[in-house]
Structures are given as structure tokens and as C-alpha cells.
Amino acid sequence: MTVVGPFGLSVRDQTLEADIQAGLVAVEEGLLGATKSDVPFITEAAQHLVRAGGKRFRPLLVMLAAQFGDPHAPGIVPSAVVVELTHLATLYHDDVMDEAAVRRGVPSANARWGNSVAVLTGDFLFARASHILADLGPEAVRVQAEAFERLVTGQILETAGPRDGRDPIEHYLDVIAGKTGSLIAVSGRFGAMMSGADESVTNILTQYGERLGVAFQLADDVLDIASDSHESGKTPGTDLREGIPTLPVLRLRARAEATGSAEDRELCALLDGDLSDDGRHAEVLRRLREHPALEQARQDTIRYAEEARAMLWPLPAGPARAALEGLCDAVVHRAG
């Protein structure tokens, strides 16, 4: 059993392991190549997050999905580079919107060079992803465009908030299906599509990726509160401090409204206060870690991961399907 990639997936088949490792190495080379500019400053800014590392979750899924066709087909590595470049570009933009100071354990691009450079660097990455995508054919362009539309729609819906009468939790799940699930779904689709897998297999891996993507984000929500480490790449409680309404907080607010509990209402009031104060922030974090809402969010994560796993049953049993099931386990473990 070998651990493959920064995400920590356990692979038990040597041939599969070799394919995945070789693919991820090629993706790293592709990312560095795609982020190189004739202008040294642009190269530095564009490679800032590439060199900071990351889980490479999306390229890993591309490589695994490709196992259901020809895993050495020429479009696989470029499509994995496209999805990772797109993901990286959104991080530059997200950090500007969230005024984040740290990303992947290093100063964010906006903290280092300012918002304008960060936004333009994200745009540069989108441009480079589009350049690669153009060589993969019109169908790949269409798939990526639709996913990007969903991603942006999710971001806008998050900014706008739920409409009157809409359940905030349902709204949030729709937001992350767009913001996170859409690009992870494309990872599964590209891997299968570029490998020449049957359309039915491609559809299965797309739906699997969507559900796994939601579970992946929910695990991050749980980690933001439950972890004392930097497992999520951010300081624990960052989303709380920035006022981002993650699932544990939404579960808390729903319970407070349903039960009228004075303790829950008090905690909600603390959340609505100034969490830039370290003492208040620490108190909210401590109380949320002990609150049933956190366990509810953890169970939501497990539910989506199990839905993803169930999608895989029509696929032929073997090392590739076992590895995809292992990704479900890995996501749940992060939230454990």
C-alpha cells in the first residue's frame, strides 16, 4: 500500500500507483510551464501558489478517472493542468474578496503584492488555462465553460445570500455545489472523456465528482472549526473570523431558531459580534467545537461522501474504483 500525492490517497496496485505518480509529476511540470511568462514578475506571482504546494486533488481525480479508458491518452495531463490552473486562479480572486492574508501556509498574493496584482494574476492563469483548453477540442471548451459559469454563479449566490424564504442551508449547499463541486465534477469528466471511456462511465464519474466536491468543501468547513493544526491550509477559525457562513454555523443558527435555546442564541450573538477580538474568537471556537452543530456538519460530510461512493457501483471492480472509493474515505477522514 502506497500513499500517492499530497492528498494522502492509499493505492494498493503498483501499476495504478506508477500511472498516478507519473501523471502528477507531469502535471507539476505542466503547471510550471503554463505559469511562466516572459515577464519575470508575472512568473513570480503566477507561480506563487503553484510552488506553495496543495493537495492536487483535482488532477488526482483526472488521473483516476482516466483509468477507465486509455490512461496514457495525450489529453489527460493537459486537462488536469487546466482544472488545476482554473482552481488556482479562483484562489487568487477568493483571497481578494475575503481579504485573506495567508494561503497554503504562505502570504496570499494580495497580502504580498496588493489586490490589483492578485486579481490580474488570477486572470493570467485563466488565460493560460484557456490556451491549453483550445488544443483539447470544442467539447472540452464547452464543458469547461459550463463549469466555470456554475462556479461564478455559486460565488455570486454566496455574495448575494439566500432569497427571502429560502432555507439558508439549502442555499449554502447549492453555493458549494457550484463553487467547488462543479470543477471537481469536470475533473472526473475530463479524465474519463480524454481517455476515451464510454459516455455512461463519463457521466458516472462526473456525478461522483460533484458529490465528492461538496463533501470535500464540507470537510473544510468542519476542519476550520475542529482542527488545531493547519490541515486546511489556513489558520483554524479563519472562516469564523471573516464572517463566512460555513455549514456548522448555519446548523447552529437553524437549531437556535428551532429550539429557542438561550445558550444557542447567545452563541449566535457572539458570532455576530466582532471576531477580530482574539478572546471572543477563541471563545466562539471553543463553544462551537463542543456544540452538536459541528457533529451535524460532520454527518452531512459523510452523507455526501457516501452518495459519491454509491455512484461508483456500476463501474467495473478493480484498483481504479477502489482508489476512487478511497478518496471518499480520505475526505471523511479529514472531517473526522
pLDDT at 9: 64
Domain boundaries, the chain: 13-160, 198-336
pLDDT at 10: 63
Residue 7 pLDDT > 60: no
Q: Which fold has domain 13-160?
A: Farnesyl Diphosphate Synthase (1.10.600)
Q: Which of 220, 222, 230 is nearest to 295 (CA)?
A: 222
Percent of the chain topping pLDDT 90: 65
More confident residue, 120 or 106: 120
Residue 245 DSSP symbol = -
Report the alpha-carbon distance of residue 13 to residue 317 in Å, rounded: 13
Please indicate whether the domains covering 13-160 and 198-336 agree at the CATH topology level. yes
Look over the chain and give the mean of its residue pLDDT values, rounded to a whole number: 89
Residue 104 pLDDT > 80: no
Least confident range from 68-82, 267-281, 282-296, 313-327: namely: 267-281
Residue 278 confidence class, pLDDT cut points 50, 70, 90:
confident
Residue 8 confidence class, pLDDT cut points 50, 70, 90:
low
Residue 2 confidence class, pLDDT cut points 50, 70, 90:
low
More confident residue, 29 or 334: 29
pLDDT at 53: 76
Least confident range from 42-51, 172-181, 282-291: namely: 42-51
Mean pLDDT of 190-217: 97
Any long-range contacts for 278-287 (C-beta under 8 Å, 24+ apart)?
281/237, 281/240, 281/241, 284/237, 284/240, 285/225, 285/236, 285/237, 285/240
Report the alpha-carbon distance of residue 63 to residue 72 in Å, rounded: 9
Percent of the chain topping pLDDT 70: 93
CATH number at 198-336:
1.10.600.10
Radius of gyration of the chain (CA): 20
Can you read off the three cell numbers belonging to residue 115? Answer: 489586490
Summarize pLDDT for 48-68 with one digit per residue, the tens.
888 887 889 999 999 999 999
Do residues 7 and 60 lie in contact, with contact meaning Cβ atoms separated by under 8 Å?
yes
pLDDT at 14: 85
Residue 222 pLDDT > 50: yes
Residue 213 pLDDT > 90: yes
More confident residue, 255 or 116: 255
Least confident range from 170-174, 241-245, 248-252, 295-299: namely: 241-245
Summarize pLDDT for 117-175 with one digit per residue, the tens.
888 988 999 999 999 999 999 999 999 999 999 999 999 998 888 988 889 999 999 99
Mean pLDDT of 291-310: 96
Report the alpha-carbon distance of residue 139 to residue 193 in Å, rounded: 10
Mean pLDDT of 198-203: 97
Report the alpha-carbon distance of residue 244 to residue 222 in Å, rounded: 13
Quote the pTM value. 0.91
More confident residue, 179 or 111: 179
Residue 219 pLDDT > 70: yes
Summarize pLDDT for 319-335 with one digit per residue, the tens.
999 999 999 999 888 87
Mean pLDDT of 19-34: 95
